[in-house]
Amino acid sequence: MRQTELAPGMPVRTNFSDPGLPEGTAGEVVTVYDDLSDGVDVHLSNGTLINILAHGLDPAARPGRERDTPARLTA
């Protein structure tokens, strides 16, 4: 994602894996900094707060909402 596409409260998922942080870990954006090199603060579902560059995040569906990908119809 681009940093300009993020806003506080937005649900996101990580798009990389790290020791102790599996790919797809859910979180919520807390702070978006004006300087691109300062990244984004994200509160993760595992209770940790991380600072990450925006390209390490993907959008995630809000709980109780439809999935990000549309349902496929089968014949």
The pLDDT score that the predictor gives to residue 61 is 77
Residues in Cβ contact with 6 at an 8 Å cutoff, skipping those fewer than 6 apart:
12, 29, 32, 40, 54, 57
Residues in Cβ contact with 15 at an 8 Å cutoff, skipping those fewer than 6 apart:
23, 24, 56, 57, 58
pLDDT digits (tens, 9 = 90+) for 22-57: 999 999 999 999 988 899 999 999 899 999 999 999
pTM metric for this prediction: 0.77
Q: Which residue has the higher pLDDT, 33 or 73?
A: 33
